[in-house]
Amino acid sequence: MNRQAQAVVLLLLGGAVLRASLTDLHLRYVKAGLQPFLVASGLLLLAAAAMTLWYELRPDAEGDDHDDHDGHGHHEPRVGWLLMLPVVGLLLVAPPALGSYAAGQAGTVLPSQETSDYPPLPAGDPVRTTVLDYASRALFDRGRSIGDRRVQLTGFVATGPDGQPILARMILSCCAADGRPVKLGLSGDVPTGLADDTWIEVTGRYTDRIGRDPVNDAEVPYLEVESWRPVPTPKQQYE
C-alpha cells in the first residue's frame, strides 16, 4: 500500500467516523458525552489524509520519490488494507447496539453493598425511573424508598434462564466494549408473544421476589407488572 492509498484509507476512515459522530449512529458504540472527541478524531483523520495527498501530489513529489527510493520499489505489507474493514462496517453494515444476546452472555452488573441512602422518588404516578435505579433500590434498599409507588421503566425483552421474559438494559462506562446488562425479572402481567430485543414500557410495583443470574450468580430483583406496551427503540439505548 503506497502513501496515496494510505491517504485514501485515512480519508474514508475519517469520513466514516465523522458521519457516525454527527448522527445517532455513534450512540450504538459510545456514551453520548464522547461525541465531541469522536468529531475531533474524524477531523484529525481527514486533515492527515489531506496533508498526505497534498504531499504526494505536489509538483516536486515525483523527484522526491526518486531520490528516496533510488529507483527501487518497496512493497508495504498488504495487511494494511485490513484498515478498510472498519470503514466498510461503519458505512455499509453498521453493527446494532448491544441487546439480548449480549445480556445473555454477561452477568447482571449490580454490585453488593451493605448500606444505602436513596432519596425519595420524584412526584408522579407512575413515576418514570431507569432499570438501573429501580434494580438498585430493590436490592440495596429492599424497596423502602419505593414503597407502594407505581414505577414506569423502559427496556428490551430478553429470555431469562427459566425461559420466561425478563426486562434488561445495557449500561456503559465508556463504550460498547465494556457494556454490561442490568436485568429485572417480571411477575404479574408478564409480557407474552414478544421476540427478544423488543423494546417495551412496563408499569408496576416493587416486589420482594429475588432471582439469581446463572451467569454470575448475582441477585436479580423482580418487578410486579401491572401493564406493559411495546415502544419504539429509543435513540439512546444505553443507561
Q: Could you report how far apart the first and last alpha carbons of the chain are, in Å? A: 42
**Secondary-structure breakdown of the chain: helix, strand, coil percentages, each rounded to the nearest 5:** 40, 25, 40
Q: How many helices (H) and strands (E) does the chain have?
A: 6, 6
CB 151 within 8 A of CB 134: yes
pLDDT value at residue 63: 52
Alpha carbons 24 and 35: distance in angstroms, whole number: 10
Q: What is the pLDDT of residue 161?
A: 86
- Asked if 15 contacts 90 with a C-beta cutoff of 8 angstroms, the reply is no
CB atoms within 10 A of CB 158: 21
pLDDT for residue 75: 53
pLDDT at 175: 82
CA pair distance 102, 6, nearest whole angstrom: 35
Which residues lie closer than 8 Å to 42 by C-beta, 6 or more apart?
Answer: 14, 15, 17, 18, 19, 21
pLDDT at 65: 52
Chain-centroid distance, C-alpha 226: 29
| Domains observed in the chain | 3-91 (no CATH), 100-230 (2.40.50)
Q: pLDDT truncated to tens, each residue of the chain (239 aa)?
A: 577 777 777 777 887 888 888 888 777 788 888 888 888 888 888 888 888 878 777 776 555 554 445 545 455 556 666 766 766 666 666 778 889 999 999 999 876 555 567 888 999 999 999 999 999 999 998 999 999 999 999 999 999 988 899 999 999 888 888 889 999 999 999 999 999 999 999 999 999 999 999 999 999 999 999 999 999 999 889 98
